[in-house]
Amino acid sequence: MNNEVNWIRGITPNKHHQQQLKVGIGDDAAIYGHDKKMESVVAVDTMVEGIHFTKQTMPMKSIGHKALAVNISDIAAMGAIPQYYLVSIAIPKTSWKKKELNDIYNGMNELATVWSMDLIGGDTVSTNDALVISVTVIGKVEKERRLLRSNARCGDVVFVTGELGLSAYGLQALLEKGYENIDDDELLPYLQAHQKPDPHVRAGRLLANCGYRIALNDISDGLASEAKEIADASQVTVELDWAAIPTTNKLKEYPQEKQEEWLLYGGEDFKLVGTIGKENWEKLKAAFQAHSLPIFKIGSILTGNSEVLLKKENKREVLKKTGYGHL
């Protein structure tokens, strides 16, 4: 990158979506107004070449899309509305071309436009190692409507907002063949799930506005891991019913051990997993159906010591393994 200033000008959006944005890219910091009825919600996530993506598994636009999507998913898990994002990028000096980097930002911009988000800043540095993209998303949620992992109670229904395991299955295909060598249309939904996940913002907003007590988490590291986080935060036991966990017919054709690896531990599904009082489950389900949004009952909350149980054919086992971890 010989001219960082000109490149930054090239990736700067021509217009703002958020009326409260006062100063965006072009000064030392961004300035935006604050609604007294709302609370700010902030999430940050980082993607590293060779760990989260490679040029063989992800087109450039998809890298950008996913870098932003994983953060929007965190905002959705709080029941919030995404508004702004900042991007810090560490660029290898030799292995990435300007067009590739522009395509990454274009991928982010396309997703940001869907949710009327504004890019308001970031940082650009060079590195001798892999490409690193760190994205921060800022959103807002009505006071007293934020959805926390600590809200689960004994007797609650456990639910999820979509089918699981697709991203992990798609990644397996990408690692085996590379995205440029896959021409099987049957695999497209799985590749899409991994490369361009759809954050469940609408579901999160519906949950925030329903008026019920909700515990919520997004599924980034796997259902087992996210259920354990709810169990820890709420000091309860989460019981998952294996037969009720939604997935595709194609994945059901595989041995159960493989299915469990994808559905429970594969991660990067970016659906929402949560709990609601048993007395309000049918009303919530009807509300989702009225908005043409999927939701599935997959278990229940029990008294216990912060653990996750998997029920299979009336037998229960404690899930010792969780999802993906960096440490």
**Annotated binding residue 268:** yes
Within this chain, domains 11-142 and 149-318 share the same CATH topology: no
**Annotated binding residue 84:** no
pLDDT at 19 over 90: no
Helix (H, G, I), strand (E, B) or coil at 237: strand
Enumerate the domain spans of the chain: 11-142, 149-318
Query: Which residues lie closer than 8 Å to 39 by C-beta, 6 or more apart?
Result: 140, 141, 142, 143, 146
- Enter the tokens of residue 220: 């980034």
**Annotated binding residue 269:** no
**Annotated binding residue 266:** no
Q: Which CATH class is domain 11-142?
A: alpha beta
Query: Each residue of 290-326: pLDDT tens digit?
Result: 999 999 999 999 998 899 999 998 899 999 866 555 4
- Distance CA(306)–CA(317), nearest Å, equals 14
Confidence at residue 282, expressed as pLDDT on a 0 to 100 scale: 98
DSSP 165: S
Query: Each residue of 104-154: pLDDT tens digit?
Result: 999 999 999 999 999 989 999 999 999 999 999 999 999 888 899 999 999
**Annotated binding residue 35:** no
Model confidence pTM above 0.75:
yes
Query: Each residue of 183-231: pLDDT tens digit?
Result: 888 999 999 999 999 999 999 999 999 999 999 999 999 999 999 999 9
- Name the pLDDT band for 7 (thresholds 50, 70, 90): low
211's enclosing H/E stretch is none
**Annotated binding residue 185:** no
**Annotated binding residue 4:** no
Tokens 């019920």 map to which residue? 212
The CA angle 110-111-114, to the nearest 5 degrees, is: 95
139's enclosing H/E stretch is strand 132-142
**Annotated binding residue 220:** yes
**Annotated binding residue 52:** yes
**Annotated binding residue 123:** yes
CATH H-level, domain 149-318: superfamily: PurM-like C-terminal domain (3.90.650.10)
240, 317 Cβ separation under 8 angstroms: no
